[in-house]
Copies of this chain bind each other. A is one copy, B any other.
Amino acid sequence: MKQITKYIIRNDLKRLFTYRLCLIGFKRKGFDRVYSYNLGEEAGVTAEQVRKDFSVFKIKGNKKGGYKINDLLRSIEEIFKYQHNQHVILVGMGNIGRALVQYKRFILRKMIIVASFDIDPSKQSKRFGIPVLPMDMMSEIINKFHVKVAILAVPEISAQDAANKLVDKGITGILNFAPVILKVPDEIIVNNINLCDELESVIYYTQKVM
Which A residues are closer than 8 A to B by beta carbons?
Answer: 1-9, 11, 13-15, 17-18, 21-22, 25, 41-45, 79-81, 86, 88, 95-96, 98-100, 102-103, 105-106, 109, 111, 148-149, 151, 172-175, 179-181, 187, 189, 191, 193-207, 209-210
Decide if B197 touches A175 in the complex (CB within 8 Å). no
Copies of this chain, tallied across the complex? 2
Query: Which of B9, B21, B43 meets A180, CB within 8 Å?
Result: B21
On chain B, the residues within 8 Å of A105 by CB distance are: 179, 196
Query: Which of B11, B80, B195, B202 meets A173, CB within 8 Å?
Result: B202
**Residues of A contacting B: mostly:** helix
- Complex Cα distance, B22 from A14, in Å, reads 26
Q: Kindly list the 9 A-B residue pairs having the minimum CB-CB distance in the complex, ordered from nearest.
A: A3-B44, A173-B206, A95-B99, A173-B202, A17-B197, A189-B205, A99-B99, A9-B201, A96-B99
Smallest beta-carbon distance A114→chain B, Å:
14
Decide if A207 touches B81 in the complex (CB within 8 Å). yes
